[in-house]
Amino acid sequence: MNVVNHAQLTSECELPITDHAGLRSALADANVPTLLMVYTTYSQDRAYLDSFAPYLTGLYTAEMPSTVPEEMAQDLRDRLFALLTDPVPPKERPIDPELLRHMMSVSVGEEVAAGIVPVLYDQMGFERVVPRKDLPGRKAPPADFRVLVIGGGMTGIAAGIKLAEAGYDYTIIEKNASLAGTWYENTYPGVGVDTPSHFYSYSFELNPDWSHYHPKGKEIYDYLTGVANKYGVPPHVQFETMVTSATWDEGKARWIVGLRGKDGKERFEEANAVILAHGVLNRWTMPQIPGLDTFKGPKMHTAGWDNSVDLKGKRVAVIGTGASAAQLAPAIADEVAELTIFQRSKHWVLNNPDINVGVNDAIRFALKNIPHYKEWFRFRVYWFTGDGLYGNVCADDGWEDMENSISAQNKAARDYAIYYIQNKLADRPDLVEKIVPDYPIFGKRIVLDADGGWLDTLVKPNVTLETGAIDHVEENAIVMADGTRYEVDVIALATGFELAPALGPLKVYGRGGADLAKAWGKDDARSYLGVMAPQYPNFFLTLGPNSAPNHAAGVNMVLEAQIHYIIEALDMLVAADAHAIEPSMAAYEEWNRRVEEQMKNMVWSHPKAKSYYLNSKGRNYVSCPFRLADYWSWTRQPDRTALQLT
C-alpha cells in the first residue's frame, strides 16, 4: 500500500462564510474533534493540535458531549470563526503525510497506522479525483467496447458512474421500474439502515443533508436516485427487464446476454464484459409453515410491504426477530390492537443511542458550509464503525472463555449488551431469558436498539413475544405446537432473504460451456477476491463470495473497491489489446485457501453461531474474514501474475 504524498485536501465550500449567525450556531453544536481537524487542515499548527490530545479518547457517538475543557473548545470556535469569515480566505496547503496521520490519531484518541492512511484518504472524499478517462497516457477503451451491468441498486449506480468516468459504454439492466434496488423495494414501516448515514454513502458524493445519523429508507432512496440523476445514469438503464442468461461466445470474445422485458418476450444482446451487481438481499425467504397459504387476511413479507393495508386497531403477527422485525415492530406497536412477535432464533441486542437521532439544522450547516467538516466527520464515523470493530469478530490467541466470547473486545461487547438488556428489561426477567443468545456476540447479525426501540416495544402491554414453535396457520390464526392459538388479522413476515443459490435463476455459461450455477452448487459459491472466477472471462462479481463486510459498516466501501478493481482489470485488458481476462486457477485456489484459513479464527465459525452466512456444510461463503482496509488495498491494482489475458 502506498503512502499519501503531501495530501492536498480540497473543498467545494465557499469562503468567506457570510451567514455569521448560522456559523456561530454551527460551531456551538459541532463535534469538537472534527472542528479541530478543520482548523488544523488550514493552520497546520501541530502544537495547538497536540494541546487537545489529552482530552480526546476512543469513544464515539455522533452527539457525545465533548471532554475538552470549555475554554479550549471556545478558543477553537473563535479561531475558526475568524478564519472562516476572513474577507481574505485562507489558502489550501498540501499536508505532510506524517502530519495528516498524526491529525487522524489525535482525532480518534488512538494511533492510526501509516499504512491505513491511503484507505482513509480515498474513502473520506478529501480530494477531487480526476476522471479516469482524463488520465495522461491511459489507453482509451474502443468505442464499441460495451459493458452490461446487472442490477441498478447502490452498486449498479456506482458502477455506471465510474464506467462513464473511465470512458466505457455501459448499460444497466434493472428488473424494477426504478433505480435504488433494495431501497426501492423495502418500504415497510420503520425501514432504515444500521450503518451511520455519513458513512453509508459514496465517497465521491458525500451528503451533508441527512436528516438522521442513521437514515430511513425513503431518504436513502432519494439519495441514490438523486446521485444517479446528477451523473446521468437513467438514460443508460433498461428498466423492468430481467437478465435470464449470459453465455460466453469464444469466437466473438463476447457475452451473449438473454433479456426478458415486462412483455415476457426474450431477446439477446452482446457485451464485452458483464458486471453482476444484483445484490444479495433481493429474494425473499418465505417460511415453510403449514397452512400459511390458507390465511384469509393480508400477509406480506417486509420486502414486499403493502402500504395500503391499514394496521390501526388490528391484531398483527410478526414472524421473525431479526433486523427488519426490530425496525417494524416499534413503528407499528402503538397503532395496532395486539402485536404478537414469533421468535425463530435469538439475536444479540446492542445499544446504539444514535439510531433514531436527528441531525439538527446547526450540524447540517456545518456539514454543508464549513470546509472539510463533512469529510473529517465521515472519517470519525468510519473509524468507530468500521475496522475498529474487527476485534469483535476475530479471536484472540489463547483466549480461554471460547464458550461465551472469542476475544477481549468481543467479551466487552457482550458485557455491554447484557448490561443494556438487563437494565432495559429489569422488570421482565422472563424476557431476558427469552432473548439472550448462547453464542458469542456478532456470531450473526446483531439488532441495534435505542430508547423507544425494540426492547421498549417488547414490554408494551399489547405486545407478546412468543418463543415456541409454530405448528400451523389457519384462516384467521397461528397455532403453536403446544396448542396455543393466536387469532390475528395480519401476518408480517420478517423472515429475511435467500442467499442461495448465489446466482438466483440466472444462468451463466463460460469457456467450453462451464456452468457457474453447477460449479457453485446450491450454496457453495467461491471466487477470486469476491470479484472473478476462472473460466468466466470478463465476468465480474460485486459483493461476491466471501466479500461481505460482516464485521462492520462498509458495504459501500467494499462495492467501491470492487468497482475500482473491475475497471482496473478492464483497463489492463484494453492496454494489452487483449479480448479476455480471468483469474488463474492457482490464484483462485490460493485466495480461497487464505479465506478458509482466516475463517477458522472468526466468530462466525463458532460452533454455536448458526446464521445465513453458513452453507449446508457449515462453511461461511458470505463474510469477508479480513479487515476492510486490507481488502481495499488488495483491490487497488490487479495482480498481473494472478490474471490471464488472451
* CA–CA distances in Å: residue 602 to residues 359, 406, 638: 35, 8, 27
What is the CATH topology of the domain spanning 292-348+413-493?
Answer: FAD/NAD(P)-binding domain (3.50.50)
Confidence of residue 138 (pLDDT cuts 50, 70, 90): very high
More confident position, 57 or 625: 625
Q: What is the pLDDT of residues 632-641, one digit of tens each?
A: 999 999 999 9
Q: What are phi and psi of 497, to 5 degrees?
A: -135, 155
Please report where in the chains the cell 393495508 appears, as a residue: 309
Confidence at residue 62, expressed as pLDDT on a 0 to 100 scale: 59
Helices 154-165 and 217-230: crossing angle in degrees, nearest 10, is 20
For residue 134, what are the contacts with CB-CB under 8 A and spacing of at least 6?
Answer: none
In this structure, are residues 441 and 417 in contact, taking their beta carbons and an 8 Å threshold?
Answer: yes
Q: What is the pLDDT of residues 19-57, one digit of tens each?
A: 999 999 999 999 999 999 999 999 999 999 999 999 997
Residue 285 pLDDT more than 90? no
Residue 558 pLDDT more than 80? yes
Average pLDDT over residues 130-153: 94
Average pLDDT over residues 517-540: 96
Confidence of residue 6 (pLDDT cuts 50, 70, 90): low
What is the CATH topology of the domain spanning 142-282+499-645?
Answer: FAD/NAD(P)-binding domain (3.50.50)
Confidence at residue 64, expressed as pLDDT on a 0 to 100 scale: 55
Confidence of residue 3 (pLDDT cuts 50, 70, 90): very low
More confident position, 147 or 57: 147
Helices 373-385 and 97-108: crossing angle in degrees, nearest 10, is 60
Please report where in the chains the cell 401476518 appears, as a residue: 491
Query: Which regions of the chain carry the CATH code 3.50.50.60?
Result: 142-282+499-645, 292-348+413-493
For the chain, give the longest Cα–Cα distance: 78
Looking at every residue in the chain, the average pLDDT score rounds to 94
Confidence at residue 58, expressed as pLDDT on a 0 to 100 scale: 67
In this structure, are residues 386 and 199 in contact, taking their beta carbons and an 8 Å threshold?
Answer: yes
Confidence of residue 552 (pLDDT cuts 50, 70, 90): confident
Residue 392 pLDDT more than 90? yes
In this structure, are residues 39 and 75 in contact, taking their beta carbons and an 8 Å threshold?
Answer: no
Q: What is the pLDDT of residues 88-127, one digit of tens each?
A: 999 989 999 999 999 999 999 999 998 889 899 899 988 7
Please report where in the chains the cell 449470459 appears, as a residue: 246
CB hemisphere CA count around 128 (13 angstroms)? 4
Average pLDDT over residues 368-377: 96
pTM of the predicted model, to two decimals? 0.96
More confident position, 424 or 65: 424
Q: What are phi and psi of 311, to 5 degrees?
A: -90, -10
